[in-house]
Amino acid sequence: MGRPALSSGSTVETAEADYFQNNPPPKEFSQNKQLVRAFVQRHSEQGRRVALVTSGGTTVPLENQTVRFIDNFSAGTRGATSAEYFLENGYAVIFLHRRFSLLPYSRHYSHTTNCFLDFMEIDQQGKVTVKNNYQIGMQTVLQKYQRAQTEQTLLLLPFTSVTEYLWSLRDTALSLQVLGPNAVFYLAAAVSDFFIPRDRMSEHKIQSGDLNAAGLSQGTKLVVDLDPVPKFLKSLVDGWAPNAMIVSFKLETDPLLLISKAKKALERYSHHLVIGNLLLTRAWEVVLVSPGREEWVRLPNHGPDPTGTFAFESGSVLEIESLIVPKVIRLHDVMIQQTCN
């Protein structure tokens, strides 16, 4: 059974309606809508589960023709890596990601410390080939990538600003409603809590010599006046995706706050799972907080250094997402079973 729909006229509903009315959709919105509809329909007919994986940070533009913006931290590693494990487990994936952040499969060769050119060489005939010691690794990644291409199980949807993100999230959620409990939302993106409403945003680049142009500045200082972004998780859980499984992430820097903030989010939104992580240790430990339960997931051979201050990485090739995603899928299995009974 799904969650009850939002009562009409609630504050959340009004804030949501105002937000979408005052902040127009991105240019590619209608085109993406068609792509999502077709993708969902195909996988629904094939009886495949679909994961919406969000990834990367949203921006808050200071100008409509954006030169400057406030950014949210995230390289897109968590999202891109998790998407691969969902695909490997038979899910189709809609990958709602920050434009130019890491993507499933190409992430192995696209980071600046992992540049694809370092994997190549020019042979004696002048042909570009993959270096011998990378052949097997690249073949494995390429096979998985090509499988996703052939089976059309991966749909890439980019966003840049928080508004683009929210338009795409809402529309995709509405499209996924046909799947009922067979959809899972895995919200790893780092989404801005504050933004500048469209009607207060400068059209052109804010000029230091014309400090009142954007309505943002006072004297010689640039004062940025931000409004809160409506609590979209509430809208998602209660309104846009009432029957789907919803997994949110919580990023903190203070270890003492992590569990309490994750629990608070779970209570506030009444969804299925919050995955908590700390900025410094996120690559090797997370905590899964679900109603009445918390479970730490850690990569072996990682932990505090001898001073107990920082964590260190041992060079393990095991990725923590290979441990997280199967646990999420097990919870999804249980949720689907409970819905069917």
Binding residues for ligand PAZ (CB under 6 A)? 74-78, 188, 190-191, 249-251, 277, 282
Q: Which pair of structure tokens corresponds to residue 189?
A: 């993106």
Encoded tokens for 292: 């009445």
Specify the residue, 70 or 130, whose C-beta has the smaller distance to ligand PAZ: 70
> Which residue's CB is nearer to ligand PAZ, number 173 or number 191?
191
Which whole-number Å values give the CA distances from 31 to 22, 36, 171, 296, in the listed order? 21, 9, 12, 41
Cβ closer to ligand PAZ: 78 or 234? Answer: 78
Q: Would you say 40 or 80 has its CB closer to ligand PAZ? A: 80
Least distance in angstroms from the C-beta of 135 to ligand PAZ? 28
Smallest gap from residue 166 Cβ to ligand PAZ (A) = 14
Strand 194-195 with 183-187, pairing: unpaired
User: How remote is the C-alpha of 238 from its chain's centroid?
Assistant: 19
Nearer to ligand PAZ, 104 or 181 (CB): 104
* Minimum distance, C-beta of residue 233 to ligand PAZ, in the bound complex (Å): 10
Residue closer to ligand PAZ by CB (options 74, 235) is: 74
Residue closest to 298 by CA, chosen among 315, 323, 274: 323
Q: Could you tell me the smallest distance in angstroms from the CB atom of residue 98 to ligand PAZ?
A: 9
Query: How many Å apart are CA 62 and CA 201, to the nearest integer?
Result: 6
Distance CA 238, CA 231 (A): 11
Nearest approach, Cβ of residue 331 and ligand PAZ (Å): 17
Taking the C-alpha atoms of residue 229 and residue 59, their distance in angstroms, rounded to an integer, is 12
The residue behind tokens 């696209």 is 110
Minimum distance from CB of 167 to ligand PAZ (Å)?
18
Alpha-carbon span 276 to 290, nearest angstrom: 11
